[in-house]
Structure 1
Amino acid sequence: MMTAKIYIDYFEKELANEGNKRARLKKYMTSLFERLVELTSSISPETFWAVFPEILGIDAKLTLLLELISFDDFSNDEIIRIVETDYQTYFKELCGYDLKQETKPSIIFTVC
């Protein structure tokens, strides 16, 4: 079963493999984790529909971050810029949709 600790540990371990050259990304990732903890602790039936899309957005950002760290051509700031620009369409592309295509009404596409 996935827990917050397992989830966070996975991303931290993957980034740690990159060493000190990605220290700026470590700070960025930590800020994402802090926001994730805030959001998950505030979920209730009343807040779910407002909070869950942001949680999906953080998940997309973290996943994109790990995908991009292996590209030595990108600086830390370039990676953050790409992540902040592309995270909203991450799940759409992952599901095989063209960016111009209309998606089905699914919560997975409500990323913010």
Structure 2
Amino acid sequence: MLFATKKEYVNYFQKEIDRLPREKDTLEDYLEKQVERLNQLIEEISKETFWEVIPQILGIDAKLGLLVDLSKYEEFSDNDIIRIIESDYKNYFKELFGYDLSMETKNSIVFNVC
């Protein structure tokens, strides 16, 4: 799915969390905090800050992707999901692109997540 606006992007993740057949207050709070940080980072983008801000935005995107992926597993508690996200998000795109964690990646901004 492609997003034309930030609103569409955020709504996608909110709808995915809303669909969960579980208590999800902790995950909704986590999503809200990530969206707040995303909004802050978007406000900070300029020619001077681009290379500093974009890796952080990619990090949030990875966290939200993991949030949707992991929240489908009922055996994980909300706290487990958040713990896994925070420890693994920097490798999300590497794995998404089919790289083994030990492999070197191509030079791309996508792999410069922070």
**TM-score under structure 1 normalisation?**
0.96
Q: Deviations over 1:57-94 (max 9, x none)?
A: 00000000000111000000000000001100000111
Aligned match of 1:42: 44
* Cα deviation 1:36-74 (Å, max 9, x = unaligned): 000011100100000000000000000000001110000
Cα deviation for residue 19 of structure 1 reads: 5.3
CA distance in 1, matches of 2:11, 2:45: 22
Instruction: Name 1:97's counterpart in structure 2.
Output: 99
How is 1:1-112 mapped onto 2 (pairs within 5 angstroms)? 2-18=4-20, 21-112=23-114
Classify the secondary structure of the residue corresponding to 1:21: coil
Root-mean-square deviation over aligned CA pairs: 1.1
TM-aligned CA deviation for residue 102 of structure 1? 1.0
In 1, Cα distance between equivalents of 2:71 and 2:15: 13
Structure 1 residue runs of 4+, over 3 Å off?
Answer: none
Give structure 2 stretches of 5+ with no counterpart: none
Aligned partner of 2:61: which letter? Answer: D
Q: CA deviation at 1:11?
A: 0.5
Equivalent AA in structure 2 for residue 60 of structure 1: A
Relative to the length of structure 2, the TM-score reads 0.94
Name the CA shift for 1:105/1:13 in 2 (closer, same or farther; >3 Å). same
Identity %: 52
CA distance in 2, matches of 1:107, 1:41: 20
Q: 1:19 to 1:73 in 2, by over 3 A?
A: closer
